[in-house]
Amino acid sequence: MTKNLHQKGFTLIEILISLFVIGILLGIVVVNLNKSKKETIVKTVTDTLLFRLEEARANALAGKGGENQGVKLNDDSYIVFSGLEYNSSDPDNVVYELDSNVSLSDTTTNTDRTVIFSRLTGGVEESSTITISSDSGVTRTISIDLSGNIDLQ
């Protein structure tokens, strides 16, 4: 029996090494896609909250309803409301739930965790910082000064 020195095809070792390399590359791609998704969720939540804060301030400046306008912050949601203070039984409150992977924290010192924009001036009683963060450590920060100016940091 003679050996054929020109056999064609791949050996089992070559196939296993190729599958191992492909598996490593797929793992890297999946991890990066997951992180990118969480960054996108935090960005979307931040942009929406920023818009709602600016809308509340604009409504206060315009004197909408003859009342102050505010946003109540919770760990897993925020609520847009009208009035001198937050009233949980007001049917006009609008609740915005957050994605389960995102939470809010803030530096407001009032017990209601509210940011209230004064009617016609748009100012607030205290400056505050709101931090939106994901469980993977992605964070974005919104600051509000005493004049009611809102900045994304």
DSSP code, position 119: T
Let me know if residue 2 belongs to a domain.
no
- Number of structural domains (the chain) is 1
pLDDT at 109: 83
The pLDDT value given to residue 4: 61
pLDDT in tens, 109-143: 888 899 999 999 999 999 999 999 988 888 999 99
Domain assignment present for 1: no
pLDDT of residue 129: 94
Q: Taking Cα atoms as reference points, which of 101, 108, 105 lies closest to residue 134?
A: 101
pLDDT of residue 62: 94
Give a yes or no: residue 124 inside a domain.
Answer: yes
Q: Is 35 exposed, middle or buried (0-12, 13-18, 19+ CB in 10 A)?
A: middle
- Give Cα 113 distance to the centre of its chain: 18
**Residues of the chain under the 50 pLDDT cut:** none
Helix (H) / strand (E) element for 132: namely strand 128-134
Tell me, yes or no, whether 34 lies in a domain.
Answer: yes
**Is the residue at 119 inside a domain?**
yes
Domain-located, residue 148: yes
CATH number at residue 43: 3.55.40.10
Is residue 100 included in any domain, yes or no? yes
What the block records as the tokens of 42 is 């935090």
Tokens of 74: 């919770």
Quick check: is 114 in a domain? yes
Tell me, yes or no, if the pTM score tops 0.85. no
Domain encompassing residue 96: 13-152
